[in-house]
Structure 1
Amino acid sequence: MDLLRNRREFLVRVRSSDGAEGIAIPNSMHMIHTYPIFLNRVAPFFVGKDARDLEGLLWELYRHDDNYKYQGLALWVCVAAAEFAVLDLIGKVAGKSLGDLLGGTLRRDIAVYRASGNRGNSPEEEVAYLQEIVAESGAKALKFRLGGRMNKNVDSRPGRTEALIPLVRKTFGAGMTLYADSNSSYDATEAIRIGRLMEEHEYAFYEEPCQFDHLEETKAVADALRIPVAAGEQEFSEDRFLWTIANRGVDVVQPDLHYYGGFIRSMRVARMAHEAGMLCTPHMSGSGLGYLDAAHFASCIPNPVPFTEYKGSADVPISSETSSLKVEAGMIRVPSGPGFGIFVDPSFVRESRKVTTN
């Protein structure tokens, strides 16, 4: 299992003893900081193991050499990077797509929502940007950011949130599905006040209204509002997801495939939520091939929300025989080829250098 780097992007390449190969594009935005954990604590564990035992190996890796002490984004981004590559390898050997490996592809055409990462611009500037990304994608759903991100009820600029919520609805009309993300901006009282405004303008979900690890506050908001509350981007504990589902702490669970440690762990969250009658949507990491990972996940879970996040692609040259890998008329087709169903340009791989801890 090798970690390669080409400029800002990382790749994980895994090879079996009989010459099969899998390759994955990890979350480079965080791998740049966490790669020593991947090289020292994750990749060596997998060498010599049977790839078919992947699900059990994830637990053994967690226990191995006290890796659980590193849990959080630093560990799970590295585990996801390894898992993606092994899944690609297994899929290519078995001749199965990722969705079919994970229980069966249920849908191949995924409706997307375009997401803005802006915060602090004026409401008018944000609306102009949202119009641009809708025009280029044909998306029928949007998400933008509210509040001040972990800023204890202080907005990124005075009055921005209260002006932006009605302005976006007025601009795009009743036919556009709207989501908004506060990124842990509020306490429960303020989150409920903002949520009431979103309800007035018929928003479809309200993401991470309270500080992400304040589960009781988030539940209080979900209990008080009609608008569905979504959260889970920062979560790394299966037991806390279980608590949130069992206690209806949110309405929509939102694991991040990279931050939470991969497809297998995230599928457990989706299936637990499904048993409880709740929906699931993947949070899309803004790095790697996050848009493709999210689409694959939405293709095979039983309970996706109507639209899946799309933020655009990383600077990695890839192609597919079964998908354009582009958003067309608000939809993206999930590749159906073996593994992830994509080909990374061989010259990009050849130009990549092997990463070491030296």
Structure 2
Amino acid sequence: MRNSRRNFIKKSGWATAAGMAAISLSPQAYAAENLHQDEALDRILKEPVLRIAELKDPVWIASVELLRREDNFLCRVRSKDGAEGISVSNNMQMIHLYPIFVNRIQPFFIGKDAREWESLLEEVYVYQSNYKLQNLAFWVPLATLEFAILDLLGKMADKSMGALLADTIYHPEISVYQANNYRGKSAEESIDLIEKHVRETEARALKFKVGGRMSHNKDYPPGRTEKLIPLVRQRFGENMVIYADSNGSYTADEAIRIGKIMEEYAYDFYEEPVPFDWYEETLQVSRAVNIPVAGGEQEPSMHGFRWLIKEDALDIVQPDIFYFGGMVRSMKVAKMAALKGKPCTPHISGSGLGYLYMMHFVSALVNAGPFHEFKGFNNEIPLDSPTSSLNSEGGKVTVPTGPGLGVTLDPDFVEQHRVVEG
């Protein structure tokens, strides 16, 4: 069996002629084309994302609070007019990063107009030299605040978070892929566990782990990956969409060798074949294998994404909306990808309500990939969701409607949290 990038992009249900065409250009025409792409990409980075024309008056931020109960963190923002927004953080990271939120982010936003969020993102990046913290250490706390701000703005504008990002909701339902991680188990053990979880969600796509995670070509246990790649296809049949995630396990040469095995079994994408900051090697693998190369989960830099997209090092972009600092920044990445005919399949991280935020983001993507990550919903956070079960039904999850996040956290649960001081 064989697969190709073209077949994958057709599966996603959209494409642009510019992104699909194989063009042979003279040196002069190539230079002109590159200049055109540079200008178009830069224009995307300058264009506003938020759709908040309904909000004619300033939304002055009166308070920003980080709330904690054991290892769970909430962010609550209030305007001077009494409007409120709330978010749940990526608790796996915030347990280590909350001092950055309290000392480097929270003070900057008091008294600011929340409608100016996009320009404030640029300013807070420079405030107290926060740019020196660039990576998830800075972006996770900032995304935590952004999701509370979007909840607040959405309630005031009577729009969902997705509708704040685009004029059209393209995906009121999200088709899911079941994510699995059974490194350390044999291929035979892994395949049985993968099948169990796929059947539970009725997903029509799945993703599993190959290699040993940033392991310099080691496999855990040895030989697992080469046994498992054909086994997954054989167990699920030719109609199942199959993704494989290496988490940067390989050197370029080994990544290409493993990718060629995936080609034989018609895999649909190959995620992070080499370490995430190996840009040139990612491009090398992308050119050598005939299945789409995906990545971006760990990418902290807008300029880094711009290079990966423009140079066609990635076929599918995967910004993590927590790790990359929120939906606004991630939407710019998705738009740059759309310019080049590439899908966006965002990564979701950690705990809390990450999957719910990802759903709202995907709902606004014209170039959303065909399936999106599902690890099961967090039932430890009590909330009311009148418009969605938040569960996979027939392989699809309905995006909640209503203003802001579209769900209400249990007030008693919120009250059990205490304000984190500096």
- Tell me the TM-score normalized by structure 1: 0.98
Deviation at 1:8, TM superposition (A): 2.3
1:134 is aligned, of 198, 201, 213, to 198
**1:24 aligned onto 2:87:** yes
Looking at structure 1, the residues matched to 382 and 374 of structure 2 have their Cα atoms a distance apart, in angstroms, of 18
2:251 is aligned, of 174, 177, 187, to 187
Identity of aligned residues (%): 55
What corresponds to 2:136 in structure 1?
Answer: 73
Which amino acid is 1:8 matched to? D
Unaligned ranges ≥5, structure 1: none
Please tell me whether the aligned partners of residues 290 and 313 of structure 1 are also in contact (alpha carbons under 8 angstroms). no
* Structure 2 SS opposite 1:195: helix
Deviation at 1:197, TM superposition (A): 0.7
Deviation at 1:355, TM superposition (A): 1.6
Looking at structure 2, the residues matched to 116 and 290 of structure 1 have their Cα atoms a distance apart, in angstroms, of 17
2:263 is aligned, of 199, 214, 217, to 199
Unaligned ranges ≥5, structure 2: 1-63
Deviation at 1:133, TM superposition (A): 1.1
Looking at structure 1, the residues matched to 134 and 123 of structure 2 have their Cα atoms a distance apart, in angstroms, of 14
* Structure 2 SS opposite 1:280: coil
What corresponds to 1:87 in structure 2?
Answer: 150
Looking at structure 2, the residues matched to 297 and 202 of structure 1 have their Cα atoms a distance apart, in angstroms, of 29
Looking at structure 1, the residues matched to 412 and 308 of structure 2 have their Cα atoms a distance apart, in angstroms, of 45
Deviation at 1:319, TM superposition (A): 2.0
Aligned length: 357
Please tell me whether the aligned partners of residues 6 and 348 of structure 1 are also in contact (alpha carbons under 8 angstroms). no
* Structure 2 SS opposite 1:250: coil
Looking at structure 2, the residues matched to 41 and 11 of structure 1 have their Cα atoms a distance apart, in angstroms, of 17
For residues 83-121 of structure 1, the C-alpha deviation after alignment (integer angstroms, 9 at most, x for no partner) is 010000000011101111101311201100010122111
Pairing 1:185-264 to 2, within 5 Å after superposition? 185-264=249-328
For residues 201-243 of structure 1, the C-alpha deviation after alignment (integer angstroms, 9 at most, x for no partner) is 1110000000110000011000011100000000010001000
Please tell me whether the aligned partners of residues 377 and 391 of structure 2 are also in contact (alpha carbons under 8 angstroms). no
What corresponds to 1:101 in structure 2?
Answer: 164
Deviation at 1:65, TM superposition (A): 1.3
Which amino acid is 1:25 matched to? V
**1:338 aligned onto 2:338:** no
Which amino acid is 1:280 matched to? C
Deviation at 1:313, TM superposition (A): 2.5
Looking at structure 2, the residues matched to 313 and 28 of structure 1 have their Cα atoms a distance apart, in angstroms, of 15
- Tell me the TM-score normalized by structure 2: 0.83
Looking at structure 2, the residues matched to 29 and 316 of structure 1 have their Cα atoms a distance apart, in angstroms, of 15
Question: Mean alpha-carbon deviation: is it higher for 283-292 or for 16-25?
Answer: 283-292
What corresponds to 2:185 in structure 1?
Answer: 121
**Higher CA-based Rg:** 2
Looking at structure 1, the residues matched to 80 and 410 of structure 2 have their Cα atoms a distance apart, in angstroms, of 24
Superposition RMSD in Å = 0.9
Which amino acid is 2:128 matched to? D
Please tell me whether the aligned partners of residues 288 and 313 of structure 1 are also in contact (alpha carbons under 8 angstroms). no
Which amino acid is 1:49 matched to? K
What corresponds to 1:35 in structure 2?
Answer: 98
**1:169 aligned onto 2:233:** yes
* Structure 2 SS opposite 1:179: strand
